[in-house]
Structure 1
Amino acid sequence: MADYGSSTRWFGMALQALIVLADHDGLCPSGKLAEKLESQSAFLRKILTHLVKGGLIQAKEGRDGGYSLIKDPADLTLAEVYEAMKAEPFPKGFLDVATKECFAPPTRDALFELRDEMESWLVDGLKQKTIADLLVKKK
C-alpha cells in the first residue's frame, strides 16, 4: 500500500465503505460512497481497489457501475478487511528498530517478536467481529 497516510486510516476508511455498501441496495457508485464518507473519490477508489483484490467486494465498471459486497455482512470479518488492507504489520514504523544500532540484536529480535505477537492479538480480536456487528440495528 502506498504511503498516503497511516495504515489505520486506510483500514478505518475501508470499514466505513463496507458499512455503507452493506446498508446500500444494489451497486453503489464510488462518487456516492465518497460523498457519504466525506472523502476524496481518488483516495476512496484506491481503498476500494484493495477490497476488490481481497475478494470482499465486486466492481462493475461503466455508466451504471459501482461496488457491492460479495459476502453477507454477517460473514465478513474485520480480520478479512485488515488482511485486504494491510501492506505491513501495524502502522508504518510501529516498533521499527531495524536501523537502530543502539539495541543489541537480541533486543531488536525481542521487539520484533513483540510486534508480531501484538499483531496476532489484533487479528484474533478482529476475527470475532463482522461488518454486521457495526451496522446500526433498525427498530
Structure 2
Amino acid sequence: MSDKMNNVRWFSMALKALIVLAENESRCPSGKLAEKLESQSVYLRKILTHLVKADIIGAKEGRDGGYALNKKPDEIKLSEVYAAISAETVARDHFETEGKHCFSGTSRQSLCDLQNEMELWIVEGLRTKSLADLIES
C-alpha cells in the first residue's frame, strides 16, 4: 500500500477513534477502542500516540487506564488532528516528481507548488471543522 493511502487511513482512523472517545463517558482502553473500530490495537496505538503527543487526548496506564479526550469536541479542530498525524507521514507527496519521469524542471516545480497549495487548502478547510461537527447530537 502506498504511503498516501496509509496516511489517509491514519487520519480517518484517528477521527473515528476521537468520535468513539467523545461518545464514551470514561477512559477507553485501546483494546476496547480497537474492538469498536474493528481494528487491531497495535495499529491503533500507533495512531493514538500522535494524538497524545499533540495533547488532543490523554493516556493513563494501568487497571483503570485508557484514553480520553483532553478537550471538549468543539475545541478540537480537525486541522489539529491532521497536523498531529502529519507529524509522522501523512498526505504528503501527492505527486511523485522524482525518478525517471519525463518532467522538465519547470513541470516538476509546478507539481511541487501545486502539492504545497493543495496542502494549504486541506489545512484551511479542516480549520473550519471541529470534532463536534462529526458527532451526532
Provide TM-score, normalisation by structure 1: 0.90
Q: Is the 8 A contact 2:8 2:90 kept in 1?
A: no
Q: Check 1:73–1:23 CA distance in 2 against 1; reply closer, same or farther (3 A cut).
A: same
Q: 5+ residue gaps in structure 2?
A: none
> What secondary structure does 2:48 align onto?
helix
Q: Any runs of at least 4 consecutive aligned residues in structure 1 with deviations exceeding 4 A, and if so which?
A: none
Count of aligned positions: 133
Q: Check 1:30–1:24 CA distance in 2 against 1; reply closer, same or farther (3 A cut).
A: same
Q: Check 1:89–1:15 CA distance in 2 against 1; reply closer, same or farther (3 A cut).
A: closer
Identity of aligned residues (%): 54
The alignment yields a C-alpha RMSD, in angstroms, of 1.4
Distance in 1 (alpha carbons) for counterparts of 2:34 and 2:90: 27
Superposed counterparts of 1:88-107, under 5 Å: 88=89, 90=91, 93-107=93-107
Find the counterpart in structure 1 of residue 68 from structure 2.
68
> What secondary structure does 1:26 align onto?
coil
Provide TM-score, normalisation by structure 2: 0.91
Q: Is the 8 A contact 1:79 1:123 kept in 2?
A: yes
Shift of 1:88: 4.2
Shift of 1:53: 0.9
Distance in 2 (alpha carbons) for counterparts of 1:126 and 1:99: 32
Spell out, residue by residue over 1:74-129, the C-alpha distance to the aligned partner (whole angstroms, 9 max, x if none).
010110000000134625x4201122441111111110000010110011000011
Q: 5+ residue gaps in structure 1?
A: none
Q: Check 1:54–1:123 CA distance in 2 against 1; reply closer, same or farther (3 A cut).
A: same
Distance in 1 (alpha carbons) for counterparts of 2:16 and 2:101: 40
Shift of 1:31: 0.9
